[in-house]
């Protein structure tokens, strides 16, 4: 149904190949569009055929089921990586990696994107989750979002109309597909400081969190005012605890890592132990940050 488009179509592709955690069963179709026009057309056809749609960018923060996904996965993160600056606005497609955007803006002497150097995701995913790092989040610099709504119509809406809050946006709760976004990118008075902050954000991420491992990132939301889940999980003695091949990272207790061959069921069981143990011993209910598919 997509053979006439400039897309790569794979049937029964296992989602563990698309997620940073490395778990998830097969999807009915995986479609990788090469252009925004094709992305729009793929989505519209899925709506017409009443096929469920899952959008995957970098594949971080996702926990697909072992049974897979009986629908179409649109892999937007493999392409759609174009961005441009017009005056003080940067227009970026959904698949642009955040670290690339951060360092590109720093080289241009534009401020506000430094924190993104520490986030291993894409523009589309960052908007849906209002991703953040080091006390800053995506909504701070976001101006507007262009997306396909549940009818397949293109909409451009301001950030004020999309209900951004801590690690949340309305886009998590309404059907749609992010195409691109605009961000405020002012010239900095001291460009050298912008690059220094960008490098520092990338370095802090490497020092504080496990690297070169299969992980979805933060498992539970870490509110700015605390308490931070990593400390809570460590306090109840679960750091390094393992179910199957899924392990609570010995480096940072709010990260689950796949030691090799872990299943989604392993990860979900481990999350349940983390959540229940902290609730029972400390009386605090932790809210998952990973999105379960």
* Three-state SS sequence of 183-209: EECCECCCHHHHHHHHHHHHHHHHHHC
**What's the pLDDT at 208?**
66
Question: Do residues 10 and 29 lie in contact, with contact meaning Cβ atoms separated by under 8 Å?
Answer: yes
**How far is C-alpha 3 from the chain's CA centre?**
29
What does the alpha-carbon distance between residue 216 and residue 212 come to, in Å, rounded to a whole number? 12
pLDDT at 157: 92
Alpha carbon distance 140, 76 (integer Å): 24
Q: Which residue's entry shows tokens 């005056």?
A: 87
pLDDT of residue 143: 96
Separation between Cα atoms, residue 162 and residue 147, nearest integer Å: 12
Considering the domain architecture, whether residues 35 and 108 belong to the same structural domain is answered as no
Concerning whether 180 is annotated as a catalytic residue, the answer is no
**CATH code assigned at 270:** 3.90.78.10
Q: Are residues 88 and 72 in the same domain?
A: no
- Catalytic-role residue among 41, 167, 222, 249: 167
Which CATH number is 42's domain given?
3.30.43.10
The domain tally of the chain equals 3
CA-wise closest residue to 248 among 225, 228, 227, 269: 269
Please give the C-alpha separations between residue 21 and each of 146, 203, 207, 229, in angstroms, as whole numbers: 28, 22, 20, 19
Predicted local confidence at residue 243, as pLDDT:
96
Instruction: Using the 3D structure, point to which of 39, 63, 78 is the last residue of a domain.
Output: 78
- Whether residues 134 and 154 fall in one domain: yes
Contact 210, 172 (CB under 8 A): no
Does any domain span residue 282? yes
Q: What 3-state DSSP class applies to 56? A: strand
What the block records as the tokens of 287 is 């809210």
Task: List the structure tokens of 146.
Answer: 């262009």
- Which of 28, 59, 78 is the C-terminal boundary of a domain? 78
Specify whether 40 is catalytic.
Answer: no
Is there a domain that residue 54 lies in? yes
pLDDT at 154 (0 to 100):
85
Q: Do both 90 and 181 map to the same domain?
A: yes
Per-residue model confidence (pLDDT) at position 207 = 66
- Contact indicator for 269, 243 with CB cutoff of 8 Å: yes
| Residues 200 and 89 occupy one common structural domain | yes
Domain containing 234 equals 210-292
* Per-residue model confidence as pLDDT tens for the chain (293 residues): 777 777 888 999 999 999 989 999 999 999 988 777 788 888 888 888 888 888 887 788 889 999 999 999 988 766 778 899 999 999 999 889 899 999 999 999 999 999 999 887 889 888 988 988 888 999 999 999 998 887 778 889 999 999 898 888 888 887 778 889 999 999 998 999 999 999 998 887 776 665 678 888 889 988 777 788 999 999 999 999 999 999 999 888 999 999 999 999 999 999 999 999 999 999 999 999 888 88
Token couple for 82: 């174009």
What is the 8-class DSSP label of residue 15?
A: G
Q: Is residue 2 part of a domain?
A: no
Q: Is 199 an active-site residue?
A: no
Looking at residue 160, its pLDDT comes to: 93
Secondary structure percentages of the chain, helix, strand, coil, to 5: 30, 30, 40
Identify the CA nearest to 128 among candidates 62, 65, 206.
62
- Contact of 182 with 93, CB cutoff 8 Å: no
Instruction: Please count the other Cβ atoms lying within 10 Å of the Cβ belonging to residue 240.
Output: 12
The pLDDT value recorded for residue 6 is: 76
In 64-155, which residue ranges form alpha helices assigned H by DSSP?
Answer: 98-107, 123-129
State the CATH number of the domain containing residue 136. 3.30.465.10
pTM of the model: 0.74
Q: Which entry of 60, 111, 218, 249 is annotated as an active-site residue?
A: 218
182 vs 17: CA distance, rounded Å = 30
Residue tagged active-site, from 41, 93, 114, 289: 289
| Cα–Cα distance, 14 to 188 (Å, whole number) | 44
Last residue of a domain, one of 206, 223, 242: 206
């Amino acid at each position: 149904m997509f053979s006439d488009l400039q897309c790569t179509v794979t049937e029964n592709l296992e989602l563990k190949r698309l997620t940073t955690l490395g778990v998830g069963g097969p999807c009915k179709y995986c479609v990788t569009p090469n252009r925004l026009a094709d992305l729009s057309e793929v989505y519209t056809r899925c709506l017409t055929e009443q096929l469920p749609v899952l959008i995957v960018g970098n594949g971080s923060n996702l926990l697909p089921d072992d049974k897979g996904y009986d629908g179409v996965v649109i892999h937007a993160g493999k392409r759609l990586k174009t961005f441009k600056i017009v005056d003080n606005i940067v227009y970026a497609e959904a698949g642009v990696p955040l670290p690339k955007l951060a360092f590109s803006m720093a080289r241009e002497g534009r401020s506000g994107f430094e924190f993104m150097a520490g986030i291993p995701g894409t523009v589309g995913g960052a908007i849906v989750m209002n991703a953040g790092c080091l006390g800053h989040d995506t909504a701070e610099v976001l101006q507007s979002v262009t997306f396909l709504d549940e009818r397949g119509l293109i909409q451009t809406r301001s950030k004020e109309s999309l209900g951004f809050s801590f690690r949340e946006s309305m886009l998590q709760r309404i059907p749609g597909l992010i195409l691109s976004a605009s961000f405020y990118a002012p010239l900095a008075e001291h460009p050298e400081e912008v690059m220094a902050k960008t490098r520092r954000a990338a370095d802090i991420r490497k020092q504080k969190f496990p690297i070169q491992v299969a992980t979805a990132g933060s498992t539970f939301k870490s509110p700015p005012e605390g308490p931070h889940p990593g400390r809570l999980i460590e306090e109840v003695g679960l750091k390094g605890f393992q179910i199957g091949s899924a392990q609570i990272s010995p480096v940072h207790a709010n990260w689950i890592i796949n030691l090799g061959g872990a299943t989604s069921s392993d990860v979900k069981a481990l999350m349940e132990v983390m959540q229940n143990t902290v609730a029972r011993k400390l009386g605090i209910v932790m809210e998952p940050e990973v999105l379960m598919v």
